[in-house]
């Protein structure tokens, strides 16, 4: 029988149960330790030193990098530690831009939060922060400002460890150290794919989402312009977090009500575009299987993944599905309709993804030189607009999206979570359309937050090998397997870990919140009377009346090496 092991924390014995470091153990006691550089999904860096604890010998240990040992006695809140943490905060503030009221991260900044927590009433040291407001605005997705950087390294580790992009790293040494691209080039000229995961982990607003709110308000205010908007599936389960609704709750009806009050003329659900994607991608997949060409088929919904593939693995471009993303399918149809009616339209897409801003600007998605999507705003930007408009979101009565594209399926909704595209396609290609078969598809192995999920499935006389990936470093692992000759038939790739629910434009989420968002989308799927894309009645009228003769022009694209 194994004896239990304990660490005494602030006089309380706490059992060690597989925790990797003292920080995890301390969290079990209900103490919220201050930290800038610690994220459970990233490697331990230990740079900020805010999580120091005092041991029984009077020494100081970094809780994030110290493994728990049986018999340890530590204190988390002593006079010495409080002075120590205040000194660190003052030094950081002395080298930090302090224009808090105009900062994109105002009220969401860890430095601001900890300065208030530790009652920092003044900074004894002169402010040495360089004036670098909007230091790098070259990217259409992300804005960088080194004047707000505290060198915690969160963005560097995310970009290199989780995403395998390597667009940014530490440069120079000592007091000259900064976060930079290679050779100080603009971010737009770096390997950056616009996924925005660096934005998600930045604690101080040194890296933020590129703001596109002003042109949207201008369009709404112009009576000569018809303003339309589509809302991506993952937005509905994340937006409520900062507006008085619990994370994971489907607030699509409230979003529609808010958008109507803000002045949009027509509001649609991108899940309809996802239904179109399912139909087109399923046919493409079955065609490739029959011809045994360009297998595996790799999904094309995620613009961060597309950029990664173009820049790092152009040899895989023939394997990428030619289907446009749901956002672009929806936008192409709406703009084509507006063109036929000779009416000026400004189309907005509300997305969980920063890379969608880049996708909207691509030449491939322009009609007569004009983009199909005129502006992409992220979930965070929509939250800002709702607050600016003074709308009390939690009190809104839900409203329905507008016709004629108001009917969606559950298959389109689950596109927002890793494995959702795969499940939607499997529902389409399954020979048996019974309820029991739908449940079998649900339990194939595509659900869950794991970075790589794979399973085999019988289809006719074939056994299909399917892989679901989220996080670009995980995608790199699957690419290595493909290059080694392993037989894989279908690969779904989402650049962001967990899929769109954890997109760079969403409010930041820890593991439990990601699980809640995932569960929220699956719950919404179950509540839909239509669960398969091909059963959506709008699909019939679309193919027969609206996109007839223009299917490839409006719904497909060919990507090339960049």
Q: Is residue 67 part of a domain?
A: yes
What are the CA-CA distances from residue 20 to residues 23, 67, 69, 214, 354 (Å)? 8, 6, 10, 46, 33
In three-state form (DSSP H/G/I as H, E/B as E, the rest C), the secondary structure along 445-459 is CCCCCCCEEEEEEEE
If asked whether residues 112 and 202 sit together in one domain, one would say yes
Please state the pTM of the whole predicted model.
0.93
| Co-location of 187 and 58 in the same domain | no
CATH number at residue 67: 3.10.20.740
Residues 6+ apart with CB under 8 A from 461: none
Confidence of residue 442 (pLDDT cuts 50, 70, 90): confident
Residues in the chain: 562
- Active-site residues, by number, are 281, 284, 301, 321, 356, 359, 364, 500
Domain boundary among 209, 243, 260: 209
Look at residue 74 and tell me whether its pLDDT is greater than 90. yes
Residues 6+ apart with CB under 8 A from 210: 137, 139, 140, 141, 142, 143, 354, 357
Residue 2 binned pLDDT confidence (cut-offs 50, 70, 90): low
pLDDT of 154 strictly over 70: yes
In a domain, 215, yes or no: no
Question: Smallest Cα–Cα separation from 89: which of 124, 114, 107?
Answer: 114
pLDDT value for 1: 46
pLDDT for 315 equals: 95
Domain housing 284: 224-292+299-430+500-555
pLDDT confidence of residue 97: 85
Residue 489 within any structural domain of the chain: no
| Residue, of 380 and 128, whose pLDDT is higher | 380
439 has a pLDDT exceeding 90: no
Q: According to the model, what pLDDT value does residue 368 have?
A: 87
Q: What pLDDT sits at residue 445? A: 86
Is 456 among the domain residues? Answer: no
| CATH number for position 197 | 3.30.70.20
Specify the pLDDT at position 307: 96
Weakest-pLDDT range from 253-267, 363-377, 402-416, 438-452: 438-452
- Report the pLDDT value the prediction gives residue 128, as an integer from 0 to 100: 81
Q: Find all residues with CB under 8 Å of 491, minimum gap 6, and list them.
A: 296, 297, 298, 299, 466, 467, 468, 469, 478, 482
Domains held by the chain: number: 3
| Per-residue confidence (pLDDT) for residue 131, from 0 to 100 | 53
Give pLDDT, residue 134. 56
Mean pLDDT (the chain) is 93
pLDDT at 257 over 70: yes
Is 357 within the bounds of a domain? yes
The domain that holds 320 is classified in CATH as 3.40.50.1780
Domain end residue (candidates: 77, 110, 129):
77
Residues 228, 366 within the same domain: yes
For residue 119, the tally of other CB atoms under 10 A from its CB is 8
pLDDT confidence of residue 562: 64
| pLDDT interval class at 133 (50, 70, 90) | low
- Does one domain contain both 230 and 167? no
Q: Is 534 inside a domain boundary?
A: yes
128 and 58, same structural domain?
no
Vertex 274: Cα angle to 139 and 394 (nearest 5):
75
Determine the average pLDDT of the residues in 366-370: 90
Query: 327: part of which helix (H) or strand (E)?
Result: helix 326-340
pLDDT at 130 over 80: no
Q: What is the mean pLDDT of residues 366-384?
A: 95
Percent of the chain with pLDDT over 90: 80
Which of 149, 183, 209 terminates a domain? The answer is: 209
Distance from C-alpha of 202 to C-alpha of 188, rounded to nearest angstrom: 19
Count the neighbouring beta carbons within 10 Å of the beta carbon of residue 313: 18
Q: Same domain for 51 and 149?
A: no
- Identify whether residues 244 and 332 lie together within a single domain: yes
Q: Are residues 339 and 422 in the same domain?
A: yes
Same structural domain for residues 406 and 543? yes
- Name the β-bridge partners of 469: 452, 493
Q: Is the pLDDT of residue 369 over 70?
A: yes
* Predicted pLDDT of residue 427: 92
Using the predicted structure, report yes or no on whether residue 153 has a pLDDT greater than 60.
Answer: yes
| Residue 303 and residue 174 share a domain | no
61 and 112 in a common domain: no
Q: What percent of the chain has pLDDT over 70?
A: 98
Task: Find the mean pLDDT for residues 33-47.
Answer: 89
Tens of pLDDT along 91-122? Answer: 999 988 888 888 888 888 999 999 999 999 88
Name the residue with tokens 């670098």: 132
Judgement on whether residues 121 and 18 belong to the same structural domain of the protein: no
The reply to whether 203 falls in a domain is: yes
Label residues 338-371 b or e (16+ Cβ within 10 Å = b). beeeeeebbbbbbbbbbbbbbbbebeebeeeeeb
- Confidence bin at 419 (pLDDT 50/70/90): very high
Asked whether residue 96 is assigned to any structural domain, the reply reads: yes
Phi-psi region of 460 (alpha: psi -120 to 50; beta: other; left: phi over 0): left
pLDDT of residue 7: 93
Nearest to 241 by CA among 250, 233, 229: 250
Stretch 190-204: mean pLDDT: 95
């Amino acid at each position: 029988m194994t004896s239990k092991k304990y660490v005494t924390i602030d006089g309380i014995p706490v059992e060690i149960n597989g925790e990797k470091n003292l920080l995890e153990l301390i969290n079990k006691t209900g103490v919220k330790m201050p930290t800038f550089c610690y994220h459970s999904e990233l490697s331990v860096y230990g740079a900020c030193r805010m999580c120091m604890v005092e041991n029984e010998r009077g020494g100081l240990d970094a809780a994030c990098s110290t493994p728990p040992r049986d018999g340890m006695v530590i204190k988390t809140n002593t006079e010495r530690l409080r002075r120590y943490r205040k000194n660190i905060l003052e030094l950081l503030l002395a080298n930090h831009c302090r224009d808090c009221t105009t900062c994109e991260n105002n009220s969401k900044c860890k430095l601001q939060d900890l300065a208030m927590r530790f009652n920092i009433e003044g900074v004894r040291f002169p402010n040495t922060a360089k004036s670098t407001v909007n230091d790098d605005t070259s990217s259409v997705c992300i804005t960088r400002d080194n004047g707000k950087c505290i060198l915690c390294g969160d963005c560097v580790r995310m970009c290199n460890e989780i995403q395998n992009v390597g667009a940014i790293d530490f440069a120079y040494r000592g007091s000259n150290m900064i976060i930079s691209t290679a050779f100080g080039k603009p971010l737009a000229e770096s390997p950056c794919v616009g996924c925005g995961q660096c934005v998600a982990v930045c604690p101080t607003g040194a890296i933020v989402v590129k703001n596109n709110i002003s042109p949207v308000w201008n369009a709404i205010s112009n009576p000569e312009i018809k303003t339309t908007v589509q809302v991506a599936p993952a937005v509905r389960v994340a937006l409520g977090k900062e507006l008085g609704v619990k994370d994971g709750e489907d607030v699509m009806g409230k979003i529609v009500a808010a958008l109507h009050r803000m002045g949009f003329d027509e509001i649609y659900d991108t899940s309809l575009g996802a239904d179109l994607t399912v139909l087109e991608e399923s046919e493409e997949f079955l065609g490739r299987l029959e011809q045994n060409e360009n297998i595996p088929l790799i999904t094309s919904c995620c613009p961060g993944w597309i950029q990664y593939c173009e820049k790092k693995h152009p040899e895989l471009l023939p394997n990428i599905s030619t289907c446009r993303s749901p956002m672009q399918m929806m936008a192409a149809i709406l703009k084509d309709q507006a063109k036929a009616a000779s009416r000026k339209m400004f189309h907005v897409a509300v997305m969980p993804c920063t890379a969608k801003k880049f996708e909207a600007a691509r030449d491939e998605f322009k009609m007569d030189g004009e983009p199909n999507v005129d502006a992409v705003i992220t979930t965070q930007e929509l939250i800002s607009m709702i607050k600016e408009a003074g709308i009390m979101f939690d009190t809104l009565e839900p409203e329905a999206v507008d016709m004629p594209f108001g009917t969606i399926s559950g298959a389109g909704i689950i596109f927002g979570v890793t494995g959702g595209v795969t499940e939607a396609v499997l529902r389409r290609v399954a020979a048996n359309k019974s309820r029991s078969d739908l449940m079998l598809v649900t339990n194939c192995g595509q659900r869950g937050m794991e970075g790589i999920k794979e399973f085999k499935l019988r289809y006719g006389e074939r056994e299909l090998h399917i892989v679901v990936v989220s996080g670009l470093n995980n995608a790199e692992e699957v690419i290595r397997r493909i290059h080694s000759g392993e037989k894989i038939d279908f690969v779904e790739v989402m650049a962001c870990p967990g899929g769109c629910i954890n997109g760079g434009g969403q409010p930041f989420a820890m593991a439990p919140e990601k699980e809640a968002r995932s569960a929220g989308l699956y719950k919404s799927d179950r509540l839909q009377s239509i669960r398969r894309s091909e059963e959506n009645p709008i699909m019939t009228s679309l193919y027969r009346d609206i996109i007839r003769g223009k299917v490839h022009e409006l719904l497909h694209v060919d990507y090339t090496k960049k």
